[in-house]
């Protein structure tokens, strides 16, 4: 198996031709963080490890490219929004392969939340493929708000050789304070942005 040092970023394209109308915009934001010289954030993008494909490519071509990228990945960021579909997107395939075949830990990033304290309450965001793997415990995942410092920390911390403890792991109250998203008097519960 190839050296696994990349981070695979997955999201639902929502069937949109214009990526700005899909969750692709959050992928673009992560890329902007990585390119910003004022932000200490370095990661190896698994999407850069293979040649590009278009959403209009044959499904078999897309799936082959996904498998090739996953084989070189140490972790996977799964971007979830209130628009994420339960079924019918390549995101489901990506989750299935990442967990079932490549044993990659997932960093589940919720774009609508600034605090994730009880991930089990966010089940409405989960595609069916993720819900099933959380339910049967086959996935190792850390659930985080879509906040730069939380995502950067999770990418640097979790890998195929250092998995989150369970399918419903999350950062504690102190970590949220360290990410500057919770003050000392704030309530530690799932909180909308």
Q: How do residues 149-178 score in pLDDT, each as one tens digit?
A: 999 999 999 999 999 999 999 999 999 999
- State residue 2's pLDDT score: 55
- State residue 1's pLDDT score: 47
Q: How do residues 68-90 score in pLDDT, each as one tens digit?
A: 999 999 999 999 999 999 998 89
1 falls within a domain: no
More confident residue, 145 or 18: 145
144 falls within a domain: yes
What residues make up the domain containing 73? Answer: 6-192
Domain count across the chain: 1
- Cut 0.75: pTM above it: yes
More confident residue, 42 or 60: 60
176 falls within a domain: yes
- State residue 86's pLDDT score: 95
Q: What is the DSSP string of the chain?
A: -----EEEEE---TT-SSGGGSTHHHHHHHHHHHH-TTS-----BGGGGS----TTS-HHHHHHHHHHHHTTEEEEEEEE-TT--SSSSHHHHHHHIIIIIS---EEEEETTEEE-S-GGGGGGGS-HHHHHHHHTT---EEEEES-HHHHHHHHHH-BTTB--SSTTEE--HHHHHHTTSS-TTS--S-EE-
CATH number of the domain bearing residue 41: 3.40.50.11200
28 falls within a domain: yes
Question: Is the confidence at residue 105, as pLDDT, over 60?
Answer: yes
């Amino acid at each position: 198996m190839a050296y696994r040092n990349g981070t695979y970023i997955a999201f639902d394209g929502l069937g949109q031709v214009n990526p700005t109308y899909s969750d692709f915009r959050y992928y673009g934001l992560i890329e902007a963080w990585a390119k910003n010289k004022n932000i200490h954030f370095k990661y190896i993008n698994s999407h850069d490890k293979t040649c590009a494909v278009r959403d209009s490519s044959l499904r078999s071509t897309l799936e082959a490219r996904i498998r090739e990228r996953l084989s070189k990945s140490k972790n996977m960021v799964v971007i979830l929004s209130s628009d994420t579909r339960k079924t019918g997107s390549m995101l489901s395939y990506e989750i299935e392969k990442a967990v079932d075949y490549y044993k990659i830990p997932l960093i589940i990033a919720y774009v609508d939340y600034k605090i994730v304290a009880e991930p089990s309450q966010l089940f409405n965001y989960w595609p069916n493929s993720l819900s099933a793997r959380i339910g049967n415990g086959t996935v190792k995942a850390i659930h985080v708000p879509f906040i730069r410092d939380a995502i950067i920390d999770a990418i640097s911390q979790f890998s195929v050789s250092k998995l989150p403890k369970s399918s419903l792991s999350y950062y504690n109250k102190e970590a949220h304070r360290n990410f500057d998203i919770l003050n000392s008097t704030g309530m530690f519960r799932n909180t909308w942005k």
